[in-house]
Structure 1
């Protein structure tokens, strides 16, 4: 499993580097800086706006046990 993560990270890093290199060639340095700043800002804003998952406070009331279901027998017909 660790090899898969390492391989995936390597492929992603290479892809992002290639995208940045060719993006600069096509769009220019200033446009790529602007795009990187916008993506980084959006990531920072989404990180700040996430609500943390808070565990529910334990209640003093005991949990209700499910009521058992009684199977009804059908009488034998003579």
Structure 2
């Protein structure tokens, strides 16, 4: 396991524990319906930001031709013999 994988695993577990504790104590203070509303808003904001992000693609050097797609064999629809 690499160092960055281990770090990401530990951070993920910590973030999950923090989210659970914030949810638990939030329900105690704010009430169940308010926490559902907050969760829906955060989930919606996450979905919107995911859709709006454009993937960063490195530009290909101009002196190299673009790779041709690999041809795929197609299967004929016909009678079986």
> Normalised by the shorter chain, which TM-score bucket?
0.5 to 0.7
Provide closer, same or farther for how the CA distance between residues 4 and 56 of structure 1 changes in structure 2, counting only shifts above 3 A: closer
In our comparison, the structure showing a higher alpha carbon Rg is 1
SS of corresponding position for 2:56 = coil
Provide closer, same or farther for how the CA distance between residues 11 and 60 of structure 1 changes in structure 2, counting only shifts above 3 A: closer
* C-alpha distance in structure 1 between counterparts of 2:58 and 2:15, whole Å: 34
**Which has the higher relative contact order, 1 or 2, with Cα contacts under 8 A spaced 6 or more apart?**
1
* C-alpha distance in structure 2 between counterparts of 1:21 and 1:48, whole Å: 29
- Residue 64 of structure 1 corresponds to none
TM-score norm. by structure 2 comes to 0.62
How many aligned positions are there? 61
Root mean square deviation, CA, Å = 2.0
Following superposition, the deviation at residue 8 of structure 1 comes to 1.9
1:9 aligns with 2:12: yes
TM-score norm. by structure 1 comes to 0.64
> Structure 2, unaligned stretches of length 5 or more?
65-81
